[in-house]
Amino acid sequence: MRLTTELSTIAIPNKEIAGDWEAVREDDPSINTSSDEVAEELENLTERKAAEELLEKQLAKVNLALKKIEENKFGQCEVGNEPIEEDRLEANPTARTCKTHLEEEEGLAL
Ligand SMILES: [Zn+2]
């Protein structure tokens, strides 16, 4: 799966929590780092962490969409159970709500 491949370039799977990933540091052979380098490294890690969280979220949504396909619930709004508009699904196949309930999607549990 492409998202998993992308995730594995910046993160490693958490052994304790299935489906959770942890951002990894870029390998730096020079341990002798100045505070500037440390700050840069930290910024880098923070960026990676943000990217990792975004990918993890996307992956969770893809897995959820796959599960909904299995359960014959794909394309069904999770708030009101009505069919999700075709153009919305086309633009975002992992959409979980119809346009009416768009604002409630963020609050849905993964
Ligand atoms: Zn709805």
**What digits encode the pLDDT tens for the residues 7-22?**
888 888 887 877 788 8
Cα(105) to centroid(ligand 1), Å = 9
Res 90: pLDDT = 95
Task: State residue 64's pLDDT score.
Answer: 94
Find the 94 Cα to ligand 1 centroid distance in Å: 14
Report which of residues 5 and 89 the model is more confident about.
89
- Summarize pLDDT for 41-93 with one digit per residue, the tens: 999 999 999 999 999 999 999 999 999 999 999 999 999 999 999 999 999 99
* Whether the Cβ atoms of residue 67 and residue 42 lie closer than 8 Å to each other: no
Determine the distance separating the centroid of ligand 1 and the alpha carbon of 107, expressed in angstroms: 13
pTM: 0.59
CA of residue 103 to ligand 1 center, whole Å = 10
Residues near 102 by beta carbon (within 8 Å), at least 6 away in sequence: none
Instruction: Give the tokens for residue 66.
Output: 């796959």
The arithmetic mean of pLDDT across residues 25-51, rounded, is 81
Could you say which DSSP state residue 103 is in? G
| C-alpha of residue 91 to centroid of ligand 1, in Å | 16
